[in-house]
Every structure is written in structure tokens, then in C-alpha cells.
Amino acid sequence: MDLQNFDIDVFLREYWQKKPLLIRNAFRDWQNPLEPDELAGLACAEEMESRLICQTDAGWAMEQGPLAEERLVSLGKSHWTLLVQAVDHHVPAVADLIAPFRFIPNWRIDDVMVSLAADQGGVGPHFDQYDVFLIQGLGRRHWQIGPHCDADTPLLPHADLKLLSDFQATDEWVLEPGDMLYVPPGFAHNGVAVGSDCMTYSVGFRAPSRADLLGHYVDDVLDGIADDELYRDPDLMPQANAGEISPEALGRLQQMMLDTLSDPAHFARWFGIFNSTSKYPDMDWRPEELITHEELRAAISAQLPLARNPASRLAFIAGGNDALMLFADGVCFDCVGETAALARDLCATDSLCLDVALAGSAAAIDLLTQLCNQGCIAFDSED
């Protein structure tokens, strides 16, 4: 599925994380990849993260999934929205929606959330802390865009929803199937279904917060610090007032901390593992029967296509001397030479046919076997 009416260079220069953008007829030959009933079925599944948001005379209400089929059947004809996270992990046709956005690095991709709304259904005026492309899949939705918000923007009191207390629209449009709206982090927006069976696909991008990075990285660093790494001051001199913490002591203490946190190689390996860890670690994507080296060589020789699990997060960090670190769902693989080239190929595309020469490489076979048995990649034996 290709984008049209969309200039990547202009978008990145003038809109990405700067201001919203409406793209009419954004996809060639748009076809809705998921039916409303299919999404409702996913919302009932235990392994899916889903929500139901209803607007009543008493205000806004949210129910967490999994949702009972009877509950969905009982919904009225207006003022409700069903939202299901990470649908791309389970529906290949929805996962295909990510491909046109590969001009943004893969490590920034979060998932595709899909919403189904009845007439006048929505989630209320709000703002998010991430970039999102809102693709109208079925039906029509009236979108309003407001000003940029921050942590001081007033919100309505609500236990589950962060709704703006004063939303003033600056732009508004009605999106038809195949239209797309980009909303940068922090911009207020409000979408309301116009008619029934309104489906929107939200391709979301994540950005780690300073607090998350620092908190998780410090935890990792602490695990490797020996108990005897104590403050030292062998050049201590008498001072006029024993109660003072001197500038020299403060500088030495701060440098202790900075030295501990400023190892680029340690940070790179840690971040690759941290960023590639599965969003839903309880999901087990491993095959029922582990693949053997012999079976893998046979699959390569037969030129079976190799596909990446849409739920897996693969990325690499290049090093020197044709080496790199490959990260796959929170596991780091050190690669060099032909395995480094293989890792680059695996990260560059969702599916590929491997060079038959790799069947004779013990290192490549070992890497591919581990990735297959981890559930990150799999051969398609049906093609």
C-alpha cells in the first residue's frame, strides 16, 4: 500500500513534530483491511488490550477489555467507541499499514490502534504525547484540531480519561475513507463519528521520556556496580568550617555519577535491549515445535520466504569493523561479517528470500535458528 499526495521531504521538514497535516486520498486504491465484526471479536479476546468509551447523560465512561460479546451486542446506535491496541500484531493486513511510514526509523514505531465508533462516537477532546497518523478506514469522522497543550493544560476530573476542560478548535475537517490526518505530540484533537461503522486506524509512534530513560538505565547500571566503589578523597586538605560540603567534594561526587552513566558502549547495548523489548511480554510467539538447523537449511535451499513477526521489534546498532548489535524482542545478538549483513536485511524489510549460500554458513544458521525459535521470524511454507 503506497502513499500518494504526500511528499516525505516536505513532511519531515515542515510538519513532523511541528504542526498537523491533512492528506486527502492518501492511499492508492484504498481498501479497508478489517471489518467491524472482526475488530469486535478481537476486543473480546483475553490477550488483546481494548477499551469501550461511552458518552451518556451522566458524562464519559470507560470500560476495560476484554469485553463480553453480550456487552457489545447491547450497545446502542450512537455515542460509543471501541478501541483495540496493537491490532497489527495479529492481523497482517493491518500490519501492512505501517510499511508506507518506514521513512521514520522502525525503533520509533509503536503499534496500530483501531477504533470502531457508532454515530457521534468519540473519545473526547484530548492530546497525546506521541506522533500519530489517523487513517480513515471506513465511514466518516469529523476531526477538530486545537492548540498545543502541555502538562499545565486544564483537564476535566475523570478517573480514566484525560479530557480537556476547554477545547477550542482551530481547524476542522470531515475525513472520508482513505484520508489521513497527522497529529504531532501535544496538539489537542477531537474526532466524532459521522454515521455508523466509523473505523479509524491510528499508526502511533513512541518516544521514550527522559524519566523512563534515566530510571531504567540507572537500574541497569546499578546492577553492575560493585559495593566497594566508594567516594575517595586522598588529597583532602583542612577546611575552615567542617560543616561545609566543599565545591571540590561536590564536583568529585557529581563526576562519580557522570562517569558511571557516560559509557557510550554500555548505553548503546542497554538502549537496544530496552527499546526492542516487546510491548506485551506475556505474549508467547514461539513456535510449537522448535526448528532445527537441518530444517532451516532446507527452507533456505527451497527459497521459502522468510517473514518477520509483526509483533516483534527488530533493530540494530552499527559498530566498527563490519560488526553490529542486532536487537530482537529484548535480546542482543553480536553479529559480524555475513551475520551482520543478514541482520541488516532482516531489519530493513518485513519479508525476504535469503541467499541460498547462507545455508552453508554455520553462524548465519545459528542466528536464524535462534530468531525463529524466539518467534521473531518464520518461514512461510504455503508459498
Domains annotated for the chain, with CATH where assigned, are 8-205 (2.60.120.650), 213-262 (no CATH), 293-379 (3.40.366.30)
Query: 190 forms bridges with which residues in the sheet?
Result: 144
- By CB atoms closer than 10 A (0-12, 13-18, 19+), residue 116 is buried
Distances from the Cα of 292 to the Cα of 295, 305, 345, 366, angstroms: 5, 17, 22, 10
170: DSSP letter: S
How high is the pLDDT of residue 228? 84
Q: How many other C-beta atoms are found inside a 10 Å radius of the C-beta of residue 34? A: 21
Query: 334 forms bridges with which residues in the sheet?
Result: 325
How high is the pLDDT of residue 382? 58
Q: Kindly give the confidence (pLDDT) of every residue in the chain, 383 residues in length, as a single tens digit, with 9 standing for 90 and above.
A: 789 999 999 999 999 999 999 999 999 889 999 999 999 999 999 999 999 999 988 899 999 999 999 999 999 999 999 999 999 999 999 999 999 999 999 999 999 999 999 999 999 999 999 999 999 999 999 999 999 999 999 999 998 999 999 999 999 999 999 999 999 999 999 999 999 999 999 999 999 999 999 999 999 999 988 888 899 999 999 999 999 999 999 999 999 999 999 999 999 999 999 999 999 988 999 999 999 999 999 999 999 999 999 999 999 999 988 899 999 999 999 999 999 999 999 999 999 999 999 999 999 999 999 999 999 999 987 54
How high is the pLDDT of residue 301? 94
For residues 237, 243, 245 and 246, what is the CA-based torsion angle, rounded to 10 degrees? -40
Q: ω before 66 within 30° of 0 (cis)?
A: yes
How high is the pLDDT of residue 227? 84
Helices (H), the chain: 8-14, 36-43, 69-73, 92-95, 210-223, 247-261, 264-276, 293-301, 338-348, 362-374
- By CB atoms closer than 10 A (0-12, 13-18, 19+), residue 272 is buried
Provide the grid cell at 336: 559480524
How high is the pLDDT of residue 321? 86
Distances from the Cα of 312 to the Cα of 88, 89, 278, angstroms: 11, 8, 7
CB 106 within 8 A of CB 90: no
Nearest residue to 193 via CA among 216, 174, 166: 174
Q: What are phi and psi of 302, to 5 degrees?
A: -80, 0
Provide the grid cell at 40: 469486535
> The pTM is what?
0.92
How high is the pLDDT of residue 383? 46
Provide the grid cell at 378: 518464520
How high is the pLDDT of residue 224? 87
Positions of E strands within 35-170: 50-56, 59-64, 80-84, 109-117, 131-148
